[in-house]
Amino acid sequence: MKKLLLLVAAPALVLVACSRPEPGAKGSRVVLQNKGSDTLVNVAQAWAEAYKEVDPNTAIAVTGGGSGTGISALINGTVDIANASREMKDQEIASAKANGVEPVEFVVGYDALAVFLHPDNPATSLSFEQLAGIYGDGGETVSWSQLGLDVPGCSSGEIVVVSRQNNSGTYAYFQEVVLGGKDFKLGTRDMHGSKDVVDLVENTPCAIGYSGLAYATEHIKKACIGEAGACVEPTVEGAISGEYPIARSLLMYTSGQPTGGTKAYMDWILSDAGQCILLDKGYAPAAKVSCK
């Protein structure tokens, strides 16, 4: 039995070892593994694409999957940089340290989280209290009529609550800020990416969903957040000024203080060149930048 396992495990280990060359090795071509937040994946890909021009010897392999995925990969030591749209939990930092990984956090930008509605939905503003009634555990809002709304095309009146899978940073951030750390209701439809949320809400009059502002399309309505009359529209400017209440930091984590190729890449991301790409993708930069 043991021998059989060894036979299977040995080639697998060799494969893993081969596919991960030490980042920062001089002269040779470096591949940096970058994984995590679905919110950041578009901009991370744009960065990787643009960085080819800056340093042709460094290739960056970008994968999405959710903040939890990236952080788990960092803890398991399979990536060089993890993208996250939420901070690492204490428990995650502890298990990283137990694996000999010392996570270092970089704030690379800010993102406004938009609450999406079908374009036919007449709602003008939504307060945190109303959102908690819809999304929160124990919340009693299950139909649009409870909010005094009659949504055309939604004959049952039922609110189709669209959320994200539980390893998503967007999910965790929404939980922390809008629900005040309380749990989500059971029975939400948990989508596997920001784009899936937008697609479903766009095609479902009864639906409500949330995602990064950068994923908004012209076929979807963005709710104004706050009490009626004093609400704030989700905008990049609002996220920079802090006026919009659900804007969060976008983070990247490295294992230990970055060195070599990883350091050069992180420095470039935080430079004007990197930050302008972020702004161009619909996110708010980490610091004031001047873009052409």
Partner 1 sequence: MAAPSPARPGARDLAWAGDKLAQGVIFLGGISGILLVIGIFVFVSREGLGFVSNGLDLREFLTSPAWRPTSNHPTFGALALMAGTASVTGLAMLVSVPLSLGAAIFIGEFAKGRTRELLKVLIEMLAAIPSVVWGFIGLTMMNELIIDVFNVPVGLNVLNAGIILGLMAAPIMTTIAEDALKAVPDGYRQAAEAMGATRWQVIWRVVIPAAKNGLVAAVLLGVGRGFGETMAVLMASGHSINIPTSPFDSVRALTATIAAELGETAVGSEHYQALFFLGIFLFVVTFAINLTADLVVRGIKNG
Per CB under 8 A, residues contacting partner 1 are 1, 4-5, 65-66, 68-69, 71-72, 75-76, 91-92, 95, 154-156, 158, 160, 165-167, 172, 181, 183-184, 186-192, 200, 204-207
Nearer residue to partner 1 within complex by CB, 87 or 92: 92
Alpha carbon distance 285, 292 (integer Å): 14
Alpha carbon distance 63, 125 (integer Å): 35
With the CA atoms of 266, 268, 270 and 272 taken in that order, what torsion angle do they form, in degrees rounded to the nearest 10?
A: -170
Distance in Å, CB of 204 to partner 1, minimum: 6
Distance in Å, CB of 14 to partner 1, minimum: 20
Distance in Å, CB of 207 to partner 1, minimum: 7
Alpha carbon distance 117, 57 (integer Å): 45
Nearer residue to partner 1 within complex by CB, 131 or 154: 154
Nearer residue to partner 1 within complex by CB, 116 or 184: 184
Nearer residue to partner 1 within complex by CB, 86 or 281: 86
Nearer residue to partner 1 within complex by CB, 58 or 255: 255
Distance in Å, CB of 89 to partner 1, minimum: 9
The closest alpha carbon to 184, from 198, 173, 195, belongs to 173
Distance in Å, CB of 160 to partner 1, minimum: 5
Nearer residue to partner 1 within complex by CB, 7 or 17: 7
Distance in Å, CB of 287 to partner 1, minimum: 31
